[in-house]
A and B are shown apart, each in its own frame.
Chain A
């Protein structure tokens, strides 16, 4: 990932950029800059999800597995985890600029995330537990839906049944932009396609999504 580095905008080294601006107009511009920065940054490094501290999250193989029943447990766990996460902020967080010794406060990060969610540029990893962080849609869900459908059509896979793992890590999809996509993000994309009737979601006995059948 370090072969080429993401070029941070000049404003990134401007200390007030890291403090929530009291003036409404300035605040709006500040939000806009952060939004764009996050989208560009995540697109550049192919980051699918960010924690509240701005750390890239793993592709989320386990995140949704406990979606149905483990919610309460997750919430408790997370409070305990928070301390650990604070430890790791400095590792490689976009919200921490060591050069000017500034970092974003969690409250402000949440505001940025909320704004992005309003814009359709992001979504909570778990609606019930915002602390898990957000998915970053550097392509909108609809764009992703089209990208995947195009790939299906171009590779003659209409009517095929594919597992989610196959889509994310399969050999056929390896060179595709969506390869390695966060599981929850992929599920959200599949929801879009399913609502349009372009795919049918197949569920396992335990109710988790096992795969999708693509329409022709």
Chain B
């Protein structure tokens, strides 16, 4: 019985289990006794009937008396069997109750433990910690800002401006007319300025042609 080839472990047997088993064995015995008594009762009944049939009154009376006695016995046994049965189910139910109480206790303990882990001071401390962290971060960026001050910023600004200029130039080279097109309502004035700035013939021709479709 000791070694279990497959992984499952056999159920543990407690003192209560043994007690219940003993009660059940007693109950089984009583039940077997009732079966036996029932047989005797039937037999006595048969004897009585037969004796009456044969006219043997005394024998019939005796058999009936015996039957009555056995019937009384059967009654007592059934009562005992009943009380055993009640006892067994009471114990079984109490065991379940015990389990329930144990479960409640266990749950309570875990709940307390979790609550302990979630104490106010701890939460406060965590909140403080994170606040500190945020503050530190802010300070850090401030310091960084101080450490590499205007110089970098200026450089960045300069580069930005340069890039914008380059971009504009590129666009002008590609579609030099576009700026004028976008300011259509002021068309009449536009040519004058253009002419002053860029006195290239080709461009002038284009600009002259432009207004036509409009």
Contact = CB atoms under 8 A, between A and B. Distances in A.
A164 to B, nearest CB: 9
Interface in B7-52: 7-13, 17-18, 20-21, 24-25, 28, 31-32
A66 interface: no
A208 to B, nearest CB: 11
Contact of B28 (A163, A194, A199): A163
Interface residues of B, number: 21
B139 interface: no
A199 B10 contact: yes
Interface in A197-215: 197-202, 210-211, 213-215
Contacts of B32: 165
A8 interface: no
A159 B17 CA distance: 9
A194 B10 CA distance: 7
Interface residues of A, number: 23
Given A163-B25, A194-B1, A211-B24, A202 B6 contact: no
Interface in A115-171: 159-163, 165-166, 169
Nearest to A169: B31
Nearest to A216: B11
A200 B13 contact: yes
Contacts of B24: 161-163, 166, 211
Contact of B9 (A166, A169, A197): A197
Interface of B: 1, 4-13, 17-18, 20-21, 24-25, 28, 31-32, 92
Sorted nearest first, the 8 A-B pairs with minimum C-beta distance are A197-B8, A197-B4, A165-B28, A215-B11, A200-B10, A197-B10, A211-B21, A163-B24
17 contacts: A161-B17, A161-B21, A163-B21, A163-B24, A166-B24, A194-B10, A196-B4, A198-B8, A198-B10, A199-B11, A200-B10, A200-B12, A201-B1, A210-B21, A213-B11, A214-B11, A215-B10
